[in-house]
A and B are shown apart, each in its own frame.
Chain A
């Protein structure tokens, strides 16, 4: 049922874009152009990201992740999360599947959340780009203020969820199959 609604919605949207082009409806045309542009940009990154995730899942042992990012890892786990975040490309939408795979391999929740938030702010290529437009001071303030806050909120969230005995199930998309 839900799938049917989705298909109808998608068909309706494509119809809307098609009609926009036929009738020269400017906002519709603009949306189509933007979707195309963003899709290209996203696909390029996602293609590599998912291949890397696949390789990670077959080659890296569960024990390795557990040892370095798991419950027993103490502070080193967070440092690994920050380093990994620094080399992530794309943004949040890449960080989510990566974090999910890490979690499945035994990384602890607080490390996962640190990774996600850090991947939003601390990506090295983006930071260089940012500093070149906004100045080093701007970027430095953002980094140094958000880092402790990210660590603190991740640890709090991790502890809270652990207390609630939460575990990330395979999200609803995975459950269906």
Chain B
């Protein structure tokens, strides 16, 4: 993260010394674009907090570890699709679940849908690309996540259970 800030700052200063006018224009564009999409982000944040309050981590852990692999995979994919979590929460949680004996396949379904399928980010995605494209992209992503899940199960030898 610190490199990201440093890089941005460096580019901004570099741009400023090269052409003040253009840099001012860049910042103007940045602000305008941000202001346009901000309502969408507010919506995403509210949805995210609502879902995570309704489904706190210990509930997710209980649901994913119910013993029946296929039901767990299905719920994991479902929860992953409708949730959005920052990476610093997801992977420590999954590492913990792994130690508790939850299969790789279930965690793969959970994390892959979490990353690729965005039900919560729908307001933002729709604003940029329209409803139809957003629906198609998410459907493809869900399918991809399912195939990744099956592959994970296959390579970890969990399919036959």
Interface, chain A (partner B; CB < 8 A): 6, 10, 13, 27, 30-32, 34-35, 38-39, 41-42, 44-46, 48, 50-55, 57-59, 89, 91-93, 96-97, 99-100, 113, 116-117, 120-121, 125-126, 129-130, 132-134, 137-138, 141-142, 145-146, 149-150, 153, 156-157, 160-161, 166, 168-169, 171-174, 177
Q: Interface residues of B toward A: which range?
A: 35 or more
Secondary structure dominating the interface of A = helix
Confirm or deny: B159 has a beta carbon within 8 angstroms of a beta carbon on chain A: no
State whether the Cβ of B17 lies closer than 8 Å to any Cβ in chain A: no
> CA of A35 to CA of B124 in the docked complex: distance in angstroms?
17
A134 near B107: Cβ-Cβ < 8 Å: yes
Within the complex, what minimum Cβ distance (angstroms) separates B53 from chain A?
5
Check if B46 is an interface residue, CB within 8 A of chain A.
Answer: yes
The docked-state distance in angstroms from the alpha carbon of A99 to that of B134 is 13
Q: Number of residue pairs across A and B with beta carbons under 8 Å? A: 192
Find A134's partner among B31, B86, B95 (CB 8 Å cutoff). Answer: B95
Contact residues in B for A168 (Cβ distance below 8 Å)? 128-130, 133
The interface residues of chain A lying within 8 Å CB-to-CB of B33 are 50, 53-54, 97
Q: Which of B35-43, B59-67, B70-78 contacts A (4 or more CB under 8 A)?
A: B35-43
Cα(A100)–Cα(B126), bound, Å: 12
The answer to whether B148 touches A89, judged by C-beta atoms less than 8 angstroms apart, is no
Q: Would you give the shortest CB distance from A165 to chain B, in whole angstroms? A: 13
A93 partner residues in chain B, CB cutoff 8 A = 41, 44, 121, 124
The smallest C-beta distance from B43 to any residue of chain A, in angstroms, reads 9
Most A CB atoms within 10 A — which of B4, B5, B42, B88?
A: B4
Chain A residues lying within 8 Å of B136, measured Cβ to Cβ, are 157, 160
Chain B residue nearest to A130 in the complex (CB): B91
Evaluate contact between B12 and A51: CB separation under 8 angstroms: yes
